[in-house]
Structure 1
Amino acid sequence: MRRMSIGLQMHTVRGELAKDFTGTLRRVAELGYEGIEFAGYGGLSAEELKDLLQELNLKAIGAHVSITKMKADLNKEIEYLRAIDAPYLICPHIAAEDRQTPEAWQSLFAYFAETGGQVKEQGLQFAYHNHAFEFEMKINDQFAFDAMATNEKQVPSGIMDAFVESVVTNTSPSISGEEGLKSLEVILAAFESQDSKKVVTLS
């Protein structure tokens, strides 16, 4: 069985990123991670970030891109991801006011389908990072999560962001900064002691 690489969703260490973006990337590489899912680029140009990733031997997996940014300039977001060789553009969240009714969800599905098509035309894959609220309302007898995952007419197939929300809590990550990095280092060491063929995703 082919060994799966281990990637880190950088939102997990957002506190440390805010203090020192490049230094945190270096620390993540030192911990042994091989891939990065971004949630912001630290003010670096695509060329600067690509050079840094190559220096650290890290692969860009994708990035969380808000609906606001997608609607403002989708092509700009796509071009940045293509420049750093990241295959996934991921919608990270839907504001509460934008998902109050089944009709609102249907509008979102239509937008995701349109956006997913445009992203695919540029050689990337559109994805969606789920939370708990996708299981709070039903659309045509399906939870929103299931509707997105199963109805290819509404949303392209394979859109679900495979990253787990947290490996240390059952809610949104509560650790950040140096504490978060130390906790992740302990978790990584535990995984390294296991069968290297197991699939492990940290977020």
Structure 2
Amino acid sequence: MLQQTAIEQVDLLDLPSMPLTQRNSFPPIPCVYFALSPQSEVMYIGRTVNLKARWAGHHRYEEIKSIQGISIAWLEIKEVEILPGIEQSIIEYFNPPLNGKIRIVAGHTSQLGIKIDAQLYEKYKTKLRENGVSITDDIENHMKNYVGEVVVQSIVIDMATIARLAEDVENLKLVVEELKLEYSKASQLIVKPNA
């Protein structure tokens, strides 16, 4: 985990930032990002391997953009394998109001954000994967057992998996666009013989 003194040395106002309305111009970099109110209050913190692609289809975009004057600041982290630990430490330090908030999605479905030990979480995910069970199913089954309801297996896809797949699709779209551009440039360089 990131030391608290290191977090305290990060001045959010010194980080690169752009208004959320300019999300199409965000750089495609790995980072921890901060949704900041016009008063520089940290409203939400997240991590991504591609900031531009992440905000092209962020699951909380509508909710966050409803905060007038919101901007996104970012702390670039080139070692993507340490992004989760840095994000967790920064969330614990700032405790933003939109992280971990339970919200209603599409009527009867709730999303639950919880803070747990990162190593325990990784062991938990590995064990569930070995058993072919999603995190959502497992937590839902624990809740049903706790309140005395019969556990019924359902086909539920883990929201983190959906988010990762959506991010992968966005990344692939960017790669395809880059390939199209390269192909276009290359085809202009080909000399065609006169017929």
Per the TM superposition, whether the score is higher than 0.5 is: no
Tell me the TM-score normalised to structure 2 length.
0.29
Tell me the TM-score normalised to structure 1 length.
0.28
Larger Rg computed on CA atoms: 2
| Higher-RCO chain (CA-CA 8 Å, sequence separation at least 6) | 1
